[in-house]
Amino acid sequence: MKLLFIADPIEGFNTAKDTTFSMMREAVKRGHTLMACEPKDVMWQRGGKVTAFVREISLTGDAQNWFSAKQKAPDEIPVTLAEVDAVLMRKDPPFDSEYFYATHLLEQAEREGARVFNKPAALRNHPEKLAILEFPQHIGPTLVTRDASDIKRFHAEHRDIILKPLDGMGGMGIFRVGPDGLNLGSITETLNQGGAQTVMVQRYLPEITQGDKRILIINGVPIPHALARIPQGSEIRGNMAVGGKGVAQPLSARDRATAEHIGPILAARGLLLIGLDIIGDCVTEINVTSPTGFQEITKQTGFDVAKVYVDALEAALTV
């Protein structure tokens, strides 16, 4: 099969931990061929079909210079998305206007016959922080608002809160305000931009000290091990991007039940892969753009997550 990965620049991949790389490596083991591009390389013109200017790549096995490409910029080759076997959209957040526009181009490609994973409309309809609102039975006290007075009231009720922007990733822009309310006004102004930006506010969950658990769900079925991302030192965030320690652990009965409830619902909408984030027993985010954690779980447990994913991808392409 020919697989096209739409992602951030592949030159920046850390192959020791990158999940997209692990997908590529498993695909190559099975004889599939790889192409790569960025969202900016995708275009459509009346009279034609959605096309990407891509590089055909091979894996070298070298950890440093991990790929070789037949083409170099600006000599990428045009490929019609409908003519490849699968398009894997793996662009990291932020989910900004350009990401939004990319989903529309990819949805047009679907109308022309392309197979895109995760499904573009589902990516667009499930912003990673707001997607949890559909499942209130699984989340802690949460507020979504632009209004500073709403945030002040929420803090007065819950006393210890977390504030975060809706378009952040990797722990970016997350603040904690304790019972003393110190800097609540300033933090609110920073995040809501004077009422112009919507903010998510959640009650602080002390279970974060045990880890922010990433549960990977492939075609509705949870992987049996979570990756608990544990904050280090004085940090309140467990995200690996800010130094959190990733520890793989078996799913608890409660986490498995939550994943088995949410997973099939989202899989039916075209989300082949999601990453459910849980602190304690509360879902905090549902990651759909480029969930990570494959390599950490596989290295620590021996459970081959990439194999399960490519199995599911191949099965989806036969439907």
Do 81 and 97 fall into the same domain? yes
**Whole-angstrom Cα distance, residue 40 to residue 21?**
20
> How many helices and strands in the chain, by DSSP H and E?
8, 18
State yes or no: is 164 an active-site residue: yes
Q: Does residue 237 carry a catalytic annotation?
A: yes
- Answer yes or no: do 19 and 95 share one domain: yes
- Which domain, by its residues, includes 236? 207-317
CATH number of the domain that 92 lies in? 3.40.50.20
**Contact (CB, 8 A) for 18 and 103:** no
Question: What sign does the dihedral 167-173-178-182 (CA atoms) show?
Answer: negative
Whether 74 is covered by a domain: the verdict is yes
Same domain, 31 and 68: yes
Beta bridge partners of 142: 202
Report yes or no on whether pTM surpasses 0.85.
Answer: yes
My answer on whether omega of the bond before 179 falls inside 30° of 0, hence cis, is no
Q: Looking at 90, 119, 213, 237, which residue is catalytic?
A: 237
Separation between Cα atoms, residue 52 and residue 287, nearest integer Å:
25
214 is catalytic: yes
Give pLDDT tens digits along the chain (319 positions).
999 999 999 999 999 999 999 999 999 999 999 999 999 999 999 999 999 999 999 999 998 899 999 999 899 999 999 999 999 999 998 888 999 999 999 999 999 999 999 999 999 999 999 999 999 999 999 999 999 999 999 999 999 999 999 987 767 889 999 999 999 999 999 999 999 999 999 999 999 999 999 999 999 999 999 999 998 876 776 665 666 789 999 999 999 999 999 999 999 999 999 999 999 999 999 999 999 999 999 999 999 999 999 999 999 999 8
Place of tokens 């045990």: 210
Are residues 194 and 212 located together in one domain of the fold? no
Marked catalytic residue, from 90, 129, 203, 213: 129
- Do 193 and 228 share a domain, yes or no? no
On whether both 15 and 113 belong to a single domain, the answer is: yes
Helix-helix angle 19-29:294-301, to 10 degrees: 70
Asked if 287 is an active-site residue, the reply is yes
Active site residue 254: no
Distance, in Å, from the CA atom of 271 to the CA atom of 262, rounded to the nearest integer, reads: 11
Helix (H, G, I), strand (E, B) or coil at 289: coil
Active site residue 277: yes
Chain centroid to CA 47:
34
Alpha helices in the chain, H assignment, sequence order: 19-29, 97-111, 120-125, 148-158, 184-192, 253-267, 294-301, 305-317
Q: Are residues 112 and 47 in the same domain?
A: yes
Characterize the bridge pairing of strands 77-80 and 86-89. Answer: unpaired
Of residues 75, 4, 52, 14, the one with CA closest to residue 240? 14
For residues 212 and 198, membership in a common domain is answered with: no
Q: Are residues 150 and 101 in the same domain?
A: no
Task: Out of 118, 214, 219, 296, pick the active-site residue.
Answer: 214
CATH number of residue 191's parent domain? 3.30.1490.20
